[in-house]
């Protein structure tokens, strides 16, 4: 089945919908359906569950013993014994463990936000080539119509003896080239659609609404640069990982301190009928207190050192990412300015090429000469129109990348 991209100007109460509004709809669909983004959110939800796991006391220990042969004490025999013990870590250990897990969960959420922003950029980067494709197809169709009209004109001039067969053949050659180019562009449509729709987790041939014009708005210098290093989720994620490692260092230190345990020991005691004693046969209840002695210190020291090294690692990662972020911003900003200048240039070139083409075609209509120049100028105009469509596409992709780098909210 042939895949068709629907190119329309959406109108609501007489107002055309901008490409930003169309893209916002696709961003929403991608955020709701993309499996990679959903996986990132599940990681965040799983990290939240970790907080409860580390923020509670260890399970109490219960033991039961039964004396197959009752143990005779000086006053009465013991039949069975029950023991219940609860261990308590050093003061503040549970709080530190909970803080470390909570901070790591917040870091996972920031990773999710960055994945969402990156997905928005990927959607935009897949959307705008569809615009470029449609513009190229429309330009090629117009070129074919013009060449067919030239073919008719050169044929009539040849029949009337005021033209040459060479002019007719030149047009025919270029017409075949244009027809083949259009066929190739039609074939290119399917993979572009597939790439875009799969980001939205939709069927490969799902309908995509593509705008028929793009606006390259003028941007102020240092556009959104003030939010580059303040709102970026990756930098926030690394800050939270540093804080989590600091809490983990506190946990490692406190785990190297003694742990306390309290419990009860209950013994079932038999009766000795041959003697009369106070509390004869009465069961025994004995409170107990225990303390762990962490004498093997190397593992605790290693855990503290591990947390300290992770803090240094995250700090270095943050510095490296900030440097990369700044350089990527400058490259994206250069790309935006470059494409904006190219769009202005191509607008002028198209206008002047149209004027030159009209003059050349008028001269050819009158004299029948220099038809080769008419064709050359027609192809030059075609080239500038395609280059303008490409520049407009690259401008929008560069702007989408800059929005990702500066963590624009939608």
The answer, yes or no, to whether residue 4 has pLDDT greater than 60, is no
pLDDT of residue 193: 96
pLDDT of residue 16: 35
The answer, yes or no, to whether residue 292 has pLDDT greater than 60, is yes
Tokens of 24: 């916002």
pLDDT of residue 297: 86
pLDDT of residue 279: 59
Question: Of 119, 113, 127, whose CA–CA distance to 214 is shortest?
Answer: 127
The answer, yes or no, to whether residue 252 has pLDDT greater than 80, is yes
Distances from the Cα of 224 to the Cαs of 110, 227, 329, 337, 394, in angstroms?
Answer: 20, 6, 10, 15, 19
pLDDT band for position 367 (cuts 50, 70, 90):
confident
Specify the higher pLDDT residue, 267 or 116. 116
Q: What is the DSSP string of 57-116?
A: PPPPEEEEEEEEEEEE-SS-EEEEEEEEEEEEPSTTHHHHHHHHHHHHHHHHHHHHHHHH
Contact 381, 353 (CB under 8 A): yes
Contact 410, 22 (CB under 8 A): no
Measured over the CA atoms of residue 397, residue 22, residue 37 and residue 97, the dihedral's sign is positive
Identify the burial level of 353 via C-beta atoms within 10 angstroms of its C-beta, where 0-12 means exposed, 13-18 middle and 19 or more buried. buried
Distances from the Cα of 191 to the Cαs of 121, 126, 188, 225, 239, in angstroms?
Answer: 18, 10, 6, 35, 40
Contact 262, 289 (CB under 8 A): yes
pLDDT band for position 59 (cuts 50, 70, 90):
confident
Distances from the Cα of 337 to the Cαs of 68, 340, 408, in angstroms?
Answer: 90, 5, 19
The answer, yes or no, to whether residue 132 has pLDDT greater than 90, is yes
The answer, yes or no, to whether residue 341 has pLDDT greater than 80, is yes
> What average pLDDT does the segment 346-351 reach?
96
Give first-to-last CA distance, the chain, whole Å: 35
Rounded to two decimals, the pTM is 0.85
pLDDT of residue 11: 30
Residues in the chain: 410
pLDDT of residue 400: 96
pLDDT band for position 70 (cuts 50, 70, 90):
low
* Range of weakest confidence among 232-246, 275-289, 393-407: 275-289
């Amino acid at each position: 089945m042939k895949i068709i991209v629907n190119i329309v100007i959406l109108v609501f109460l007489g107002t055309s919908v901008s490409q930003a509004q169309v893209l916002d709809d696709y961003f929403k669909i991608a955020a709701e359906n993309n499996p990679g983004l959903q996986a990132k959110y599940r990681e965040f939800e799983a990290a939240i569950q970790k907080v409860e796991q580390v923020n509670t006391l260890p399970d109490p220990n219960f033991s039961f013993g039964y004396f197959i042969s009752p143990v005779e004490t000086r006053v009465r025999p013991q039949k069975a014994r029950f023991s219940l013990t609860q261990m308590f870590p050093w003061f503040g250990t549970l709080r530190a463990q909970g803080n470390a897990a909570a901070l790591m969960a917040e870091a996972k959420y920031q990773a999710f936000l960055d994945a969402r922003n990156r997905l928005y950029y990927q959607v935009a980067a897949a959307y705008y080539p569809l615009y470029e494709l449609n513009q190229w197809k429309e330009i090629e169709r117009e070129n074919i119509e013009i060449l067919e009209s030239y073919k008719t004109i050169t044929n009539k001039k040849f029949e009337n003896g005021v033209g040459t067969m060479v002019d007719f053949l030149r047009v025919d050659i270029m017409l075949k080239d244009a027809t083949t180019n259009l066929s190739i562009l039609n074939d290119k449509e399917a993979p572009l659609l597939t790439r875009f729709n799969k980001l939205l987790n939709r069927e490969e041939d799902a309908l995509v609404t593509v705008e028929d014009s793009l606006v390259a708005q003028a941007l102020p210098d240092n556009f959104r640069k003030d939010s580059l290093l303040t709102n970026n989720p990756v930098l926030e994620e690394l800050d939270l990982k540093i804080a989590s490692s600091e809490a983990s260092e506190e946990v490692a230190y406190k785990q190297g301190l003694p742990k306390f345990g309290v419990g009860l020991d209950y013994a079932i005691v038999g009766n000795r009928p041959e003697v009369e004693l106070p509390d004869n046969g009465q069961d025994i209840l004995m409170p107990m207190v225990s303390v762990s002695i962490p004498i093997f210190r190397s593992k605790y020291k290693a855990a503290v050192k591990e947390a300290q090294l992770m803090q240094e690692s995250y700090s270095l990662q943050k510095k490296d990412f900030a440097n990369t972020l700044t350089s990527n911003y400058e490259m994206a900003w250069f790309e935006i300015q470059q494409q904006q200048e190219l769009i202005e240039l191509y607008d002028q070139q198209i206008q002047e090429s149209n004027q030159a083409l009209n003059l050349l075609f008028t001269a050819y209509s009158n004299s029948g000469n220099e038809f080769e120049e008419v064709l050359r100028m027609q192809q030059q105009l075609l080239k500038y129109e395609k280059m303008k469509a490409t520049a407009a596409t690259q401008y929008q992709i560069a702007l989408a990348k800059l929005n990702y780098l500066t963590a624009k909210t939608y």
